[in-house]
């Protein structure tokens, strides 16, 4: 990631733009003499010194606080100097450039994204899951996500993983001892209740995996696409869910020409709602481009809300739309504009509740000529119809609850820590290896060495989460996503 992991590094640690305070951070080995020369006085450890920031010619560039944190008791585990001055971009750049000029002799260079936190990981101040939690805390988009990110940073997730790893290591030690001394003819599985202990570890891992999946939803949210014919109320529904007018709504079909994306939160879960152009045949070049983009968004969706006008629930074009929806993506049929139904007319009966998915029949002979096929394959529909009014708000609470169910979120639940996709994959890999070990446990006379190997692989999968076994390439990917100065 960097030219050298021992070079002194420097960066502006506060966000770009104007602010009341700006922070410049320096980290490296043995910085005390350089920091004293830069500041013009000795710096007491972890003590705020108010002083002018002068350049080599004696000109005062700014004034503020200097704080020195000797390693290893610092964020990075190295000596760290922080200069806290005024938050104007120009003044921060002047101080930064002076520091770089005066630090040339010791090899001071600009830090790369995430390099301060990477050094904290390399110097064992944080494990990898905690280091990732630093970025998650900065990027948290809800109070629940921030709380869970803080729990991860404090080590709650890592403690769960370490406890699981320790139990697997203890079981491995017993297996390896048995393999090293086969002449003792120990019936390992029976004497040490290995199968029962393995079952207990697996049950604990299952609980951690469930919590991790909740944490993944809390961190990444759900990509929801509103699809349907023109003028069925997609933009009105987006505005209703967002609580503000983020999309233009008119009675004119084809008003929405391009996608509109809005993030909302339901019980702290981020939902990325995408309003798309109405799906229909058109000769309008601009609208056709919008429709092509709509199909592209539908292909990427995690959940599709297929909106229909409640007054025309059996429109053949809707059947044609459903036929082209991507296979395997949950689809909710949403009958909008319930408020416009004739009060004397019976409302369309909803399908049986539930989220089991069934094949949707193709278009009938009465269907219009097919639209350009987006190449998504035959669609799937969810065996559920929701009746709403985006204008009055009727049915929106039920819709929100259904979206949480599809996301796998338990209402009222909150993950004690955030998780990433790689964490979930590692836990799933460990679970698969434990399952294979359990199969081998039934044939200990023949494959005890395979039992031991599966335990080893499960242990390695868990250690990938905290970074005990991690490739340099993965570290580069993780830390390059951080902001500069952190």
Q: How far apart are alpha carbons 240 and 334 in whole angstroms? A: 14
* First and final C-alpha spacing in the chain: 14
Helix 143-153 to helix 194-220 angle, to the nearest 10 degrees?
140
> Which H or E element spans position 290?
helix 285-300
3-state secondary structure of 235: helix
Neighbours of 21 (CB within 10 A): 11
Alpha carbons 85 and 95: distance in angstroms, whole number: 9
Cα–Cα dist 448/441, whole Å: 7
Per-residue pLDDT reduced to its tens digit, 357-393: 333 333 333 333 333 333 333 334 445 888 999 889 9
Position 413 scores a pLDDT of 64
For the chain, domains (ranges, CATH) are 9-126 (3.30.1360.120), 138-217+420-467 (1.20.120.430), 222-407 (3.40.50.300)
Tell me what the mean pLDDT of segment 54-63 comes to. 93
Instruction: Compute the residue count for the chain.
Output: 486
Reported as a single tens digit per residue, the pLDDT across 333-355 is 999 999 888 554 555 554 433 33
Contact yes or no for 282/254 (Cβ under 8 A):
yes
The pTM is what? 0.74
The pLDDT tens digits for 9-46 are 999 999 888 889 999 999 999 999 999 999 999 999 99
Which residues have C-beta within 8 Å of that of residue 192, sequence separation ≥ 6? Answer: 174
- Of 32, 30, 88, the residue nearest 64 (C-alpha): 88
pLDDT, tens only, 79-110: 999 999 999 999 999 999 999 999 999 999 99
CA distance 296 to 307: 17
Residue 362's pLDDT is 37
> Quick one: how many helices (H) and strands (E) in the chain?
15, 14
Q: In what order do the strands lie in the sheet with 60-69?
A: 49-54, 60-69, 79-87, 19-28, 9-12, 109-110
Cβ partners under 8 Å of residue 405, min gap 6: 355
CB 103 within 8 A of CB 95: no
Spatial CA neighbour of 1 closest among 351, 473, 457: 473
pLDDT in tens, 212-225: 988 888 888 889 99
Q: CB neighbours of 342 closer than 8 A, spacing ≥ 6?
A: none
Token pair, residue 267, equals 């019980």
Instruction: Using alpha carbons, select from 136, 86, 188, 38 the residue that is nearest to residue 478.
Output: 136
Question: Per-residue confidence at 411, pLDDT binned at 50, 70, 90?
Answer: low
| Both tokens assigned to 347 | 């409302």
CA distance 103 to 166: 45
Assess contact for 240 and 396: CB atoms under 8 A.
yes
The per-residue pLDDT for 254 is 47
Any bridge partners for residue 307, and if so which? 228, 334
Strands (E) across 331-473 are located at 331-336, 357-359, 380-382, 385-387
CB of 207 closer than 8 Å to CB of 160: no
Bridge partner list, 357:
382
- Of 239, 222, 237, 282, give the one whose Cα is nearest residue 257: 282
Q: Are 417 and 238 in contact (CB under 8 A)?
A: no
């Amino acid at each position: 990631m960097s030219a050298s992991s021992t070079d002194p590094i420097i960066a502006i640690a506060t966000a770009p733009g104007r602010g009341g305070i700006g922070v410049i951070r320096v980290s490296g080995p043995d910085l005390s003499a350089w920091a004293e020369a830069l500041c013009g006085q000795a710096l007491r450890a972890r003590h705020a010194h108010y002083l002018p920031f002068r350049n080599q010619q004696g000109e005062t560039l700014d004034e503020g606080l200097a704080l020195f944190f000797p390693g290893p008791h610092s964020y990075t585990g190295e000596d760290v100097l922080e200069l806290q001055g005024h938050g104007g971009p120009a003044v921060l750049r002047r101080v930064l450039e002076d520091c770089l000029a005066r630090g040339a002799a010791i090899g001071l260079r600009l830090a790369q994204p995430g390099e301060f936190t990477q050094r904290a990981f390399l110097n064992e101040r944080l494990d990898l899951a905690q280091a990732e939690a630093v970025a998650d805390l900065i990027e948290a988009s809800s109070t629940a996500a921030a709380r869970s990110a803080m729990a991860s940073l404090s080590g709650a997730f890592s403690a769960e993983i370490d406890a699981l790893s320790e139990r697997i290591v203890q079981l491995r030690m017993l297996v390896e001892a048995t393999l090293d001394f086969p002449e003792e003819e120990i019936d390992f599985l029976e004497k040490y209740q290995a199968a029962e202990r393995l079952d207990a570890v697996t049950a604990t891992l299952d609980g951690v995996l469930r919590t991790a999946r909740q944490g993944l939803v809390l961190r990444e949210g759900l990509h929801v696409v509103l699809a349907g014919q023109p003028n069925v109320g997609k933009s009105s529904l987006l505005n209703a869910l967002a609580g503000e007018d983020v999309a233009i709504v008119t009675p004119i079909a084809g008003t929405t020409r391009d996608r509109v994306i809005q993030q909302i939160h339901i019980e702290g879960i981020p939902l990325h709602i995408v309003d798309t152009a109405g799906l229909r045949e058109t000769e309008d070049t601009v609208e056709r481009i919008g429709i092509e983009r709509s199909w592209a968004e539908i292909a990427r969706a995690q959940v599709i809300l297929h909106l229909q006008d409640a007054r025309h629930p059996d429109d053949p074009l809707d059947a044609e739309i459903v036929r082209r929806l991507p296979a395997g993506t949950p689809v909710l049929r949403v009958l909008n504009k319930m408020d416009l139904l004739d009060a004397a007319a019976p409302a369309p009966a909803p399908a049986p509740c539930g989220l089991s998915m069934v094949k949707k029949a193709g278009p009938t002979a009465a269907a219009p000529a097919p639209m350009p096929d987006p190449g998504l394959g035959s669609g799937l529909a969810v065996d559920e119809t929701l009746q709403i009014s985006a204008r009055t708000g009727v049915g929106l609470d039920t819709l929100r609850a259904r979206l949480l169910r599809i996301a796998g979120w338990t209402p009222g639940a909150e993950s004690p820590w955030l998780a990433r996709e790689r964490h979930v994959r590692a836990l799933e890999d460990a679970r698969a290896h434990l399952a294979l070990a359990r199969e081998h446990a039934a044939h200990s006379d023949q494959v005890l060495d395979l039992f031991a190997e599966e335990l080893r692989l499960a242990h390695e999968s868990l250690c990938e989460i905290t970074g005990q076994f991690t490739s340099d390439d993965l570290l580069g990917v993780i830390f390059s996503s951080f902001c500069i100065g952190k």
